[in-house]
């Protein structure tokens, strides 16, 4: 079968290659998905660039892609929830990364039936961004009705989902974007929009109960400048905190280095009596079921910027890396049935 593979660390055009690989063999609790659509996320091009070398060694070549929608081709003998022919979607476990492929293996517990009102492209736009923001806002931040949240980069794949989810939870949503995307993010439910080309979100003052840091770098530390005392900062791009480092199973030496790097953030959080957590999302089929219901009810709508064919998958990742996509970038692995 064909699969897009990372062959080395480096730039996108020279580090990715479509290769013929052996079709995977499933175990008792796994399913084999005949892939129809997949999608890229910023995490993918960061892996190619080598941004996560400290998290563990990679043996090249290795697959790329963490979102999949398709049809169940085969089920393991212990699988009860799914049958051959089911339309499903998943964010596979890291052991099975490589959804830019004609077939994908995933654990049954990491899989759910696709939202009944969505097609393969739309369903493939959901798993990673949906699970990431659900776990950030519901599980960690515990965002509640009437609270105020700042969501950075509201027009991106994460932002477009997070705005809709935060509004569903009853929060007052402020987001940042560029001038051309103001009406777009307002249409998703944003109550206030900060145009970063002419405004500074730091001028808001300490008014937010929750800051969802999707950008990292200086934005992580600056989150505490706009946070109420006792507020919560959840980051998917900033400094890794000690709890997450332990969850990763990193050795003590690496954790010590990360702790040193996080000292400014840790100090800022303590000063504000605030919570800081770095989130590395976990695959979760039960949560995908909950998300499917939100899409089926029309509470959340899929946002797709552009769809590429499988043979254009390298160009698709290059396009995403430019940082201008409004919503998700989809790769159609095969034509819809």
Q: How does pLDDT run across 304-314, given as a tens digit for each residue?
A: 999 999 999 99
pTM: 0.94
What residues contact 137, with CB distance under 8 A and at least 6 apart? 143, 149, 162, 165, 166, 169, 210, 212, 234
pLDDT band at 337, cuts 50/70/90? confident
Query: What are the CA-CA distances from residue 178 to residues 138, 189, 199 (Å)?
Result: 27, 16, 10
Q: Is the pLDDT of residue 272 over 90?
A: yes
Q: How far is CA 163 from CA 64, 245, 280, in A?
A: 27, 28, 19
CA 26 to chain centre: 25
- SS3 of residue 106 by DSSP: strand
Give the pLDDT confidence score for residue 245 in this predicted structure: 66
Say if domain 2-126+302-332 classifies as CATH 3.40.50.970.
no
With 0-12 / 13-18 / 19 or more C-beta atoms within 10 angstroms meaning exposed / middle / buried, residue 275 is middle
In tens, the pLDDT along 36-56 reads: 999 999 999 999 999 888 767
Is the separation of the CB atoms in 220 and 238 below 8 Å?
A: yes
Arithmetic mean of pLDDT, 117-131: 98
**Kind and range of the H or E element at 82?**
none
Distance CA 314, CA 327 (A): 18
| Measured distance CA(81)–CA(316) in Å, rounded | 33
| Domain extent listing, the chain | 2-126+302-332, 129-278
Confidence of residue 229 (pLDDT cuts 50, 70, 90): very high
Report domain 129-278's class.
alpha beta
Query: Across the chain, what does the average pLDDT equal?
Result: 94
Q: Taking 60 as the threshold, does the pLDDT of residue 120 lie above it?
A: yes
Determine contact, residues 326/181, Cβ cutoff 8 Å: yes
For 141, the token pair is: 């931040």
């Amino acid at each position: 079968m064909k699969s897009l593979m990372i062959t080395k660390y480096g730039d996108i055009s020279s580090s990715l290659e479509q290769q013929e690989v052996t079709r995977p063999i499933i175990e008792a609790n796994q399913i084999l998905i005949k892939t129809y659509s997949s999608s890229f996320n910023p995490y993918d091009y960061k892996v190619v660039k080598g941004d996560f070398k400290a998290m563990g060694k990679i043996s090249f070549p290795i697959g790329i892609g963490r979102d999949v929608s398709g049809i169940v081709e085969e089920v393991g003998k212990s699988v009860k929830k799914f049958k051959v022919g089911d339309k499903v979607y998943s964010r596979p476990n890291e052991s099975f990364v490589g959804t830019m492929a004609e077939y994908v293996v995933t654990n049954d517990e990491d899989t759910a039936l696709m939202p009944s009102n969505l097609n393969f492209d739309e369903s493939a736009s959901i798993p990673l961004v949906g699970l990431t923001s659900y776990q950030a806002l519901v599980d960690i931040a515990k965002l509640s009705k009437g609270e105020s949240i700042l969501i950075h980069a509201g027009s991106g794949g994460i932002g477009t989902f997070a705005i809709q989810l935060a509004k569903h939870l009853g929060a007052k949503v402020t987001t940042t974007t560029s001038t051309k995307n103001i009406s777009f993010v307002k249409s998703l439910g944003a109550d206030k929009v900060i145009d970063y080309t002419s405004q500074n979100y730091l001028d808001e003052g300490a008014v937010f109960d929750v800051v969802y840091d999707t950008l990292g770098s200086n934005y992580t530390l600056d989150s505490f400048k706009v946070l109420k005392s006792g507020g919560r900062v959840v980051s998917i791009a900033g400094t890794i905190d000690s709890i997450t480092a332990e969850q990763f199973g990193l050795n003590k030496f690496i954790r010590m280095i990360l702790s040193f790097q996080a000292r400014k953030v840790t100090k800022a959080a303590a000063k504000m009596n605030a919570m800081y957590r770095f989130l590395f999302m976990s695959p979760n089929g039960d949560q995908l079921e909950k998300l499917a219901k939100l899409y089926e009810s029309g509470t959340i709508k899929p946002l797709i910027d552009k769809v590429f064919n499988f043979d254009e998958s390298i160009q698709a990742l290059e396009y995403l890396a430019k940082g201008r996509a409004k919503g998700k970038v989809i790769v159609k692995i095969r034509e819809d049935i």
